[in-house]
Structures are given as structure tokens and as C-alpha cells.
Amino acid sequence: MAAASHYYGSVTWRVMNNRVMWVAGFRSLYLQGLHPRVMRASWQNSSFTDPQEAWGRLFRTRMFVLTRSYGTTAEAERAGRAPCTSPGLRTK
């Protein structure tokens, strides 16, 4: 990820650099994951039960958020256009 010095100090950078974002991120995952419809859809449509796939998905999500928050405009746009690589979420 290239340094985007012209965005340094922006609201996005200040919020995302705050340690409470880790807590907020995990909290949102718990709230989303405990919803009955989300649990059913996850069970039916993803391979979250495979530890390697679960860690891979977490890593890809982390990289997406970091790129969208700290990357250049071109990097953020490229990340938004990237195809889904999760085997459990591909269209058949």
C-alpha cells in the first residue's frame, strides 16, 4: 500500500487509528454473527467452518478495510472492484 500523505490526519485516519476500533470491530462481528438469519445464511453459503478459510477471509477483510482507509484512491477503487475469492460465496 502506497503512502497517501495528502490524506494523513483526515477524519478517517484519526478514527481508524483509534484503539477502540478493534473493540468496535469485534463487537459488530458478534452482533452480526448472532443474528439468526445471518447464522443461517453463513451456515448455508460459506465455508466458515474450515479454519483455513475463516482465517483467510478475516485476513482479506482486514486488507480491504486497510486499503480503503489508508490506501490511495486508485488502490481503494481497485479493492472495491476485486472479484470474490471465497469458495463459499462464489455464484454457481
pLDDT one digit per residue (tens) for the chain, 92 residues: 555 555 667 777 788 788 888 888 888 878 877 888 888 887 777 777 788 887 888 888 888 888 888 888 888 888 888 776 655 554 44
Handedness of CA 14, 15, 20, 21 (dihedral sign): negative
Q: Identify the CA nearest to 42 among candidates 18, 17, 53.
A: 53
Q: Which three cell numbers stand for residue 60?
A: 482479506
- Residue with grid cell 452480526, as numbered in its chain: 32
pTM above 0.85, yes or no: no
Whole-number Cα distances in Å, 9 to 3, 5, 17, 83: 13, 9, 10, 31
